[in-house]
Structure 1
Amino acid sequence: MADATTAPRTARARSWWGWGWADEHPDDAECIAMGALLPGTLPRPLPIPRVADLRIGRPAAEPPRSLAHLVTADPGVRAAHAMGKAYRDVIRALRGRPGRIPDLVARPANGQDVADLLEWAGGHGVAVIPYGGGSSVTGGVEYRGDAHQVVLSLDLTAMDRVLEIDTDSRAARIQAGALGPALEDQLRPHSLTLRHFPQSFEFSTLGGWLATRAGGHYATVHTHIDDFVQSLQVVTPAGVGTSWRLPASGAGPSPDRLFLGSEGALGVITEAWMRLQERPRHKASAPVSFADFPAALRAVRAIAQSGLTPANCRLLDPGEAALSGAARDGRSLLVLGFESAAAPVDTDLAQALDLARAHGGVTAVPSAGSADGAVGAWRSAFLRMPYLRDGLARMGAVVETFETATTWDRLPALIDAVRDEVGAAAREATGHPATVNCRLTHVYPDGAAPYFTVLAAGRPGDEVAVWDHVKDVATDVLHRHRATITHHHAVGRDHRPGYDRQRPEPFALALRATKTALDPHGILNPGVLVD
């Protein structure tokens, strides 16, 4: 076993109201330029909100002296923990209506601190909202309702160390509060990687990935964090549980599976042993364009069912390709990429390109080891998009994104229905033209995960109602087409209606019983998954 070192902390300021780094947000001129592309937006951007304007009151309770060193009531810290980073959250902050602000924010240093905080909270009816990087886009880290007088945000980011590395088994014991960059920085000296890179990588934690069953950037095979879990340590009001480290087990229902995706409603994940991989040394990528989107879908299906395992297999429809700047010629674009730690991948890429060409794809010369213009443009836009969304929100635009997954036989009809019905709902609600774009983010032999973007000018001051209506229509479309309410963004509170319709009732019964047994006072993330 090798000890790992703590990664250096950064002093760069996070945005309390929007995505990511405060200094990365578009300035007023860029916001106005983006707004000009959507008729009906505001003439000037909404001002960046200030914490001082929220008039945050004193907390409704104080922690006991034994826990005071872990807890703060600082207004700025409390405001930053009031919401996640969905469009709904951003526009509420811009309009000065962020919702219930937590009374206190705790930053435990270890599992015992978490247990002590839960014991105090349970005895005093304090709602506890587990909080990692705060990047939830489904209402997963906020409190809604009035059943609890006191709300505590439980921020785990002080628990950010890689504690042990087992190089023989290629695994590491990692604290749940480690943000993506800090985690990888601690693994890099050992030439190892977790190989989990969601869009929120900079601003999300291992515990958050586990609690939401997060999907990573890689398009095939190990698409979700679930695949890398060796064991979990979870602190619940009923006690602490640690599963065994095993490569595999057939011993009954998996204890890890109970807490993966539980979103802090059943317990707080404090540590995990995670399977690691060698860092890739061989990479190759290439873009493929298609005149016909249905043909592009068939090409991706052929690649997914071929036995090839591309790290990237993102299909962008013409609107999404134009939005990202990867292609503006009215064609769809497939971004293909392969990587390996063991051997060159040029042959794999060539075989995938042959399959794409057989379905009408037009390829450029592949770029081994680096991306060409189209692939590079897509990658830059992928990382920049959340900041641009916030800029559009400042212009009063409505920007909704949602993702799902379904089988190949249902996929074309689902995409058509979303474009037609969700687009019509956005047009009706706003009175302005609406755009609905689609891309595939993850692909499997039996289906794919489409990701939709809805853009329209909003109704000034009423943007949340418009967003809620579009979300309701999208939820109904997904349900009718037997597509999951979420492939990788979690349930939270925003997807709860769709989740209630999707899950079998006997499972719901078991989940409610589990909630009662593990959280008898009902303090953990109230309203998430079960009532």
Structure 2
Amino acid sequence: MLGRMEQRTRSWWGWGWTGEAMADEACSALAAGLPGCATDPVPVPEVPELRAPRAAPPAALAGLCTAEPAVRAGHTYGKAFRDVVRALDGDLSGAPDVVVLPRTEDDVAAVLDWAGDAGVAVVPYGGGSSVVGGTEYRGEGPWVSLDLTRLDRVLEVDATSRAARVQGGTLGPGLEDQLRPHGLTLRHFPQSFEFSTVGGWLATRSGGHYAMGPTHVDDVVESLRVVTPVGVSESWRLPASGAGPSPDRLFLGSEGALGVITEAWLRVQRRPEHRASAAVRFVRFPDALAAVREIAQSGVTLANCRLLDHGEAHFSGAASGGHAVLVLGAESAHGPVDVAGPLEIALAHGGVAEECTDGRDGAVASWRSAFLRMPYLRDGLARCGAIVETFETACTWDTADVLVEAVRTEVGAAAREVCGVDGIVNCRLTHLYPDGPAPYFTVLAGGRPGMQLGAWDEIRAAATEVLGRHRATITHHHAVGRDHRPGYDRQRPDLFAASLRAVKAVLDPRGVLNPGVLV
């Protein structure tokens, strides 16, 4: 399996593996179902000619650096809709001057020292799956992309405490491959799992696939080791501590602006052996919303409790005929499980069950397949000029129904005004808490090449305004990056922003780390 993976090539312009991208005919067929969309996809581009590098690393770092055009191209952007469209247009004017691949923590420190002296910006890069502009640089001067993926080992496993010391550049599959012989798993599976790293998860406060219980990567951190431009910060390994503000919390979510996370001790667990799942269909979305609220407040913890509205269920193939779908799942390493309690709650709210015991058929399987395939479909539609992007949030239960309806109405109206045709705004609840859900929205609208960037920027501005007005977070698990800065600036208290700037000045006095992110 590993041998086959190594022979595959990452797409420099779009999501995932080049061999998994949609064929032209499939792009056309998909776009035909979206009014106003072109059905003749733009060609998949070759790597365009890039400007000559403006930065020359010292000889001591030369062996870690590459200016290979294809590598630089692949490190220019993340994988958001805007990134894909710009790459399809051949716009790589902001490409990094050099890509640096450190092998050790000392290499990371040496790169930061050189960059500070030379006035070169450094943007940490894990798997490159950012969808909020977190791995690109929008300044004018030279910059390097610091690719951490050579720091990719599980260095130590503490079976007694059930924890593992992991290097920050370890990709999701590599982490699980190294934990598997110990019978352990981190149980953190974001949609980007295959193309994201441990350090990236920590730096962006990633949310995993699991809808309830410990789902944010914050919940599994024992300690962090971080290289900053002024030194190394390493916290003690502790299950918990009441000793002042947590040093780990300073770097969790710092998005590479305060330091480079090189190692972390993470709480791991036994691999699950027992699973159960079910799907429940609802005619009315408000009934489904009431059901998941009661489930979230019942005290039960599920691996999956994902609610798809009518449009999302139809688009994923999980349901037809105008039904919303609730996907339930439980798992355990210790003994048999079921979803009987949550299922009973859902049925009491008017749901109709479609049960399956292993998740390999029916609505559960359809949703899972669509979930993993969605970024490739997004790229295919983008090639046909469509506007197709997502954003997510979290709110309290008392505002959830109003927020969802406001987003559907107002963002849908913005899409119609910008694109000239009716768009689609679908919603699913990805994560649940006793006090509120995390709604995740998908926007689809017909368009044409050349107008997509401006159109999406206007639609996103409308979405940001709606979320801010309802005091819903600008992001639940996608991070802030550069794209969400306006919403983040609005959400955070002014005193906290001033404190963050002061911390940035102390840890990165020459301002070389990921400039423009967070502050």
Superposition TM-score, scaled by structure 2 size: 0.99
1:251 CA displacement: 0.7
Corresponding residue for residue 155 of structure 2: 163
Corresponding residue for residue 13 of structure 1: 9
Structure 1 runs (4+) greater than 4 angstroms displaced: 6-9
The one-character-per-residue Cα deviations of 1:414-466 (angstroms, maximum 9, x if unpaired) are 00100000000001001111000000000000000000001001243021000
Match of 2:102 among 104, 108, 132: 108
1:99 CA displacement: 4.1
RMSD between aligned residues: 1.2
Unaligned runs of 5+ in 2: none
1:7 CA displacement: 11
Paired residues of 1:282 and 1:369 also in contact (CA < 8 A): no
**419-428 vs 371-380, greater mean Cα deviation:** 371-380
SS of 2:188's partner is: coil
Work out the CA distance in 2 between the residues paired with 1:45 and 1:84: 22
Paired amino acid for 1:352: P
Paired residues of 2:183 and 2:271 also in contact (CA < 8 A): yes
Corresponding residue for residue 115 of structure 2: 121
Residues 173-188 of structure 1: matches in 2 within 5 Å?
A: 173-188=165-180
The answer to whether residue 401 in structure 2 is matched with residue 412 in structure 1 is yes
Match of 1:43 among 21, 25, 39: 39
Identity %: 67
Paired amino acid for 2:69: P
SS of 2:398's partner is: coil
Corresponding residue for residue 240 of structure 2: 248
Corresponding residue for residue 382 of structure 2: 393
The answer to whether residue 413 in structure 2 is matched with residue 424 in structure 1 is yes
Corresponding residue for residue 33 of structure 1: 29
Paired amino acid for 1:138: V
The answer to whether residue 206 in structure 2 is matched with residue 218 in structure 1 is no
Residues 62-73 of structure 1: matches in 2 within 5 Å?
A: 62-73=56-67
1:370 CA displacement: 3.4
CA pair 150-265 structure 1, distance change in 2 beyond 3 A: same
Match of 2:267 among 266, 275, 285: 275
Work out the CA distance in 2 between the residues paired with 1:266 and 1:99: 26
Work out the CA distance in 2 between the residues paired with 1:121 and 1:405: 38
Match of 1:362 among 352, 364, 378: 352
Corresponding residue for residue 516 of structure 1: 505
Corresponding residue for residue 502 of structure 1: 491
Paired residues of 1:284 and 1:371 also in contact (CA < 8 A): no
Work out the CA distance in 2 between the residues paired with 1:21 and 1:344: 36
Work out the CA distance in 2 between the residues paired with 1:42 and 1:253: 53
Equivalent pairs, count: 518
1:371 CA displacement: 3.6
1:58 CA displacement: 1.6
SS of 2:305's partner is: strand
Paired residues of 2:403 and 2:470 also in contact (CA < 8 A): yes
Paired amino acid for 2:85: I
Paired amino acid for 1:403: E
Work out the CA distance in 1 between the residues paired with 2:290 and 2:284: 10
The one-character-per-residue Cα deviations of 1:100-126 (angstroms, maximum 9, x if unpaired) are 000000000111100000000000110
Work out the CA distance in 2 between the residues paired with 1:525 and 1:359: 48
SS of 1:406's partner is: coil
Work out the CA distance in 2 between the residues paired with 1:323 and 1:496: 30
Paired amino acid for 1:329: G
Paired residues of 1:7 and 1:182 also in contact (CA < 8 A): no
SS of 2:380's partner is: helix
Work out the CA distance in 2 between the residues paired with 1:486 and 1:7: 37
Match of 2:342 among 348, 352, 356: 352
Superposition TM-score, scaled by structure 1 size: 0.96
The answer to whether residue 446 in structure 2 is matched with residue 454 in structure 1 is no
Work out the CA distance in 2 between the residues paired with 1:264 and 1:342: 38
Paired residues of 1:231 and 1:242 also in contact (CA < 8 A): yes
Work out the CA distance in 2 between the residues paired with 1:356 and 1:341: 26
The one-character-per-residue Cα deviations of 1:447-486 (angstroms, maximum 9, x if unpaired) are 0000000100124302100011111000000000010000
